[in-house]
Homo-oligomer: A and B are copies of this chain.
Amino acid sequence: MEPHSLILAAAGAGTASNGAGAGHDPHAERVALLVALFVMFAAAKVFAEIFERLRQPAVVGEILAGVLIGPAVLNWVSPSLATETLAEVGVILLMFSVGLETEPRAIFSVGKTAMGVAVLGIVLPFVLGAGATLLLAGPLQLQAPLVPAIFIGVAMVATSVGITARVLADMNLLSHQSARIILAAAVIDDILALLVLSAVSGLATDGVNWVKIGATAALAVGFVALIVTAGTRAMKIAAPKIGRLRQRDPLFAFALALCLGLALLAEIIGIAAIIGAFLAGMTLADRSHEEELMHKSEALVQLFLPFFLVGIGMQLKLDVFRNPWVVVLALVLTVLAVLGKLWGGMLAARGLGRRAALQIGMGMVPRGEVGIVVAQLGFQLRVLNESLFGSALFMAIATTLIAPPFLRRLFAGESSAPTNAPDAACVEEDPIDIQ
Q: Which residues does A use to contact B, with CB under 8 Å?
A: 1-11, 13-15, 18-21, 26, 29-31, 33-35, 37-38, 41-42, 45, 48-49, 52-53, 58, 79, 81-82, 84-91, 154, 158, 160, 162, 170, 190-191, 193-195, 197-198, 201-202, 204-206, 209, 212, 216, 245-250, 252-254, 256-257, 260-261, 263-264, 267-274, 295-297, 299-300, 302-303, 308, 311-312, 314-315, 368-370, 372-374, 376-377, 380-382
Copies of this chain, how many? Answer: 2
- Most B CB contacts (10 A, CB to CB) among A37, A195, A252, A256 go to A37
Question: Can you list 9 A-B pairs with a CB-CB distance of less than 8 A?
Answer: A2-B88, A6-B190, A6-B191, A7-B374, A9-B271, A11-B201, A15-B205, A37-B89, A295-B299
Contact B248 A10 (CB under 8 A): no
By a CB distance below 8 angstroms, the chain B residues around A10 are 194-195, 197-198, 201, 216, 270
Contact A42 B85 (CB under 8 A): no
Bound CA span A432–B264, Å: 53
Bound CA span A6–B372, Å: 12
By a CB distance below 8 angstroms, the chain B residues around A368 are 2, 4
Given contacts A10-B270, A18-B205, A52-B246, whether A256 and B5 have CB atoms under 8 Å apart is no
By a CB distance below 8 angstroms, the chain B residues around A197 are 6-7, 10-11
By a CB distance below 8 angstroms, the chain B residues around A53 are 246
In the complex, the 5 A-B pairs of residues with the closest C-beta atoms, listed nearest first: A9-B270, A2-B91, A296-B299, A11-B201, A52-B246
Contact B193 A6 (CB under 8 A): yes
Contact A81 B84 (CB under 8 A): no
Bound CA span A202–B312, Å: 43
Given contacts A247-B58, A271-B6, whether A21 and B380 have CB atoms under 8 Å apart is yes
